[in-house]
Amino acid sequence: MLNWLKSHITGGGLTAYITHSDCLQHNMGVGHPECPERLVAIKDQLMASQIFDSLQEVEAPPVSEQQLARVHPPHYVEYIEACAPSVGTFRVDPDTAMNPGTLPAAQRAAGAVVKAVDMVMNKEAPNAFCAIRPPGHHAESNKAMGFCFFNNIAVGIAHALSQYRLERVAVVDFDVHHGNGTEEIFHDDPRVMMVSIFQHPFYPYSGDNPMGNNMHHVPMKAGSGSREFREAVEYLWLPQLREFQPQMIFISAGFDAHREDDMGSLGLVEADYEWVTRQLMMVAAECCEGRIVSALEGGYDLSSLARSVAAHVKVLSDG
């Protein structure tokens, strides 16, 4: 009732929370850190924190072939479709596997970011968070890796550029791992600027030598924490973003740089995710009418993931 009332009073003023039950069916095996419980923990925390009532929950549609083709060539999409098993699992690399639920989940994950772009551009929501899996930022145009099959954020960016003729979009990536796929896809596209932090040296062992002048990365040593992160944001990200004047900001929202997440060795806490989200909201308000689309990437300790997403989404929904 609260969602209906607020949306009708504000005319689509609720942050969109875009997800789909298919994203729970992707399972890479017992004990794998990229597990369905991640999305359950996030929703439980949002509900317990009374944030969920301030969101409009939206069902993610499947991505279309045309939308995927802007980022991934048809032969690659056909390869992923051919790899999808009817039973059991198929490994596309040592730590990235498909089960019968993976392809529908990946199609919904990419479709969620497209839907988020449509909603924000059409003023059906001021911003959006996509609670999706599998993640996407390691997927290159022709390669699945690092738990990723389709590059969800890249599919959304390409949709914004093509469908809405945007001339400048920015992607912000604060996952503990470098978003190599996003860089590979957009490194020669002057319409897209990427700013990121990541632990280095660390998987996927890239990013320290940017592939283009539109790529602005801050590799961080193991053990780096809040101070180093906030300095990178304040002295590199924010000036670059303001100079670029993006017409939409995309966030590859990975929360595995949290100090409780043993997937990496950085030391961020919920307050850092709250702070950086607030900084990005201010830039978006200055440059692009507040337009932000955020999509879940990493984050594997269920408790710190859920708390961090809640901090991030609360800032988005508070406006």
Interval 141-190: pLDDT, tens: 999 999 999 999 999 999 999 999 999 999 999 999 999 999 999 999 99
Q: Give the mean pLDDT of the chain.
A: 96
pLDDT > 90? residue 130: yes
> Tell me: the pLDDT tens digits for 54-108?
999 999 999 999 999 999 999 999 999 999 999 999 999 999 999 999 999 999 9
Helix 102-121 to helix 152-163 angle (10° resolution) is: 40
Domain 16-318 class?
alpha beta
**Amino acid residing at 317:** S
What is the three-class DSSP state of 296? strand
Q: 256 with 176: CB under 8 angstroms?
A: yes
Task: Pull the structure tokens for residue 169.
Answer: 């979009």
pTM: 0.96
d(CA 115, CA 163): 12
Mean pLDDT confidence for 123-129? 98
Mean pLDDT confidence for 112-121? 98
pLDDT > 70? residue 44: yes
d(CA 127, CA 312): 12
pLDDT > 90? residue 319: no
Catalytic residue among 26, 138, 200, 312: 138
- Asked about 200 being catalytic, the answer comes back as no
Phi, psi of 2 (to 5 degrees): -60, -45
pLDDT > 70? residue 2: no
Mean pLDDT confidence for 19-29? 98
pLDDT > 90? residue 209: yes
Q: Where are the domains of the chain?
A: 16-318
SS (H, E, C) 195-252: EEEEECCCCCCCCCCCCCCCEEEEEECCCCEHHHHHHHHHHHHHHHHHHHCCCEEEEE
Confidence grade of residue 12 (pLDDT, cut at 50, 70, 90): low
pLDDT > 50? residue 228: yes
pLDDT > 60? residue 4: no
